[in-house]
């Protein structure tokens, strides 16, 4: 608690250095809600407002780019800053739905992880799709996706996200494809066939999940012996006392981003907010509340060792991980999801 309080104080001081706007200025910030929004409230929204920069009106959505497009198309923009996933950032930028961001506002680019600052967005945090298991049920648990496929050594159901994205990647990792070659292989017809052939091997053992809350629930209940899962969901269950373990080797990490909706009437204030949320002190506070990784290396290094161990961007965890290729999924996602749905339905 002491770390969080100290970080919050630093965050307020950082915000205070921003030029204050009129008291009537307000900013509508839309994110994905839940525990992530609660952490954003503590690390970003409240301190930014307390600095006198402007009032933050926080809302939620499910990431639908169509809502942003509808606003921009009719010229009635009521949202200012939105949290978007990587493919939506690329699509939205190409479609002219987001304002360009001046990287000079963010300080030294060397402090940011590669690929987290782009033309239309700045990464807010990094999450991972990891292999998780119940340590009480598996004393000698899995150490890789190859173990996930080993139904003789680890009999029982396995949880996988119902979709091509992440599922095809872990199938190829289980089949021995080096993580740095994942998207080169998956970008060929032979590679796609290889991934589905690998999935065929355990199809009857798969329990498909569609909501992030399901894997920890199933693991605790014993419905599955291991599962692909969002690291934050597993960490939350661990905090509540569940004896769940995470395998970082072969994890797939992906940032969520802040973007400014094109036509925002508070563009200057939106830029100030993103600059504020991209400071090491505020990112440290965010990750103290929820185990998603800061995009700044200096923020990671400032966190206590026990918190760092839970973060996708901790150097030891990042060394075992692969960045999800957002451009690949923008280009090939539709056809691969169609093929996956047809395969899963058989």
How far is the C-alpha of 181 from the C-alpha of 177, rounded, in Å? 7
- For 68-110, the DSSP string reads HHHHHHHT-----EEEEEHHHHHHHHHTT-B----GGGG--GG
How far is the C-alpha of 175 from the C-alpha of 195, rounded, in Å? 8
- Tens of pLDDT along 248-289? 999 999 999 999 999 999 999 999 999 999 999 999 999 999
User: Quick one: average pLDDT of 297-316?
Assistant: 91
Query: What's the mean pLDDT when you consider all of the chain?
Result: 91
Confidence class for position 296, pLDDT limits 50, 70, 90: very high
Contact 302, 286 (CB under 8 A): no
State the pLDDT at residue 191: 98
- Please report the domains of the chain, with CATH numbers, ordered by start residue: 2-126+254-318 (3.40.190.10), 129-253+327-345 (3.40.190.10)
pLDDT exceeds cutoff 50 at 7: no
pLDDT exceeds cutoff 90 at 114: no
State the pLDDT at residue 248: 97
- Tens of pLDDT along 33-64? 888 899 999 999 999 999 999 999 999 998 88
pLDDT exceeds cutoff 50 at 75: yes
- The torsion region of residue 150 among left (phi > 0), alpha (psi -120 to 50) and beta comes to beta
- Tens of pLDDT along 166-194? 999 999 999 999 999 999 999 999 999 99
pLDDT exceeds cutoff 60 at 1: no
- Tens of pLDDT along 197-253? 999 999 999 999 998 889 999 999 999 999 999 998 899 899 899 999 999 999 999
pLDDT exceeds cutoff 70 at 19: no
């Amino acid at each position: 608690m002491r770390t969080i309080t100290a970080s919050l104080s630093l965050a307020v001081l950082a915000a205070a250095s921003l030029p204050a706007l009129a008291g009537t200025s307000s900013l509508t910030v839309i994110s994905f809600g839940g525990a992530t929004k609660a952490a954003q409230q503590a690390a970003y929204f409240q301190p930014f407002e307390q600095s006198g920069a402007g009032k933050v009106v926080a809302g939620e959505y499910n990431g639908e780019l169509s809502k942003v497009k509808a606003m921009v198309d009719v010229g009635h923009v009521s949202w200012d800053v939105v949290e978007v996933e990587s493919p939506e950032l690329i699509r939205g930028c190409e479609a002219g739905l987001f304002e360009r961001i001046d990287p000079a506002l963010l300080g030294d680019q060397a402090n940011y992880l590669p690929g987290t600052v782009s033309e239309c967005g700045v990464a807010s945090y990094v999450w991972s799709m990891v292999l998780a298991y119940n340590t009480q049920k598996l004393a000698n648990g899995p150490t890789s996706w190859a173990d996930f496929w080993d139904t003789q050594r680890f009999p029982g159901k396995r949880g996988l996200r119902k979709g091509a994205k992440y599922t095809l990647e872990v199938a190829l990792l289980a089949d021995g494809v080096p993580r740095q070659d994942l998207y080169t292989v998956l970008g060929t017809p032979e590679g796609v066939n290889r991934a589905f052939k690998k999935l065929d091997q355990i199809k009857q053992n798969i329990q498909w999940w569609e909501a992030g809350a399901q894997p920890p629930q199933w693991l605790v209940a014993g419905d599955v012996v291991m599962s692909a899962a969002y690291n934050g969901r597993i960490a939350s269950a661990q905090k509540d006392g569940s004896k769940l373990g995470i395998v970082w080797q072969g994890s797939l990490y992906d940032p969520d981003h802040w973007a400014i909706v094109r036509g925002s009437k508070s563009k200057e204030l939106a830029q100030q907010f993103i600059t504020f949320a991209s400071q090491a002190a505020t990112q440290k506070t965010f990750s103290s509340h929820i185990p998603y990784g800061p995009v700044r290396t200096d923020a990671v290094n400032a966190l206590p060792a026990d918190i760092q161990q839970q973060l996708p961007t901790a150097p030891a965890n990042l060394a075992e991980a692969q960045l999800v290729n957002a451009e690949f999924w923008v280009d090939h996602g539709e056809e691969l999801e169609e093929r996956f749905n047809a395969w899963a339905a058989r």
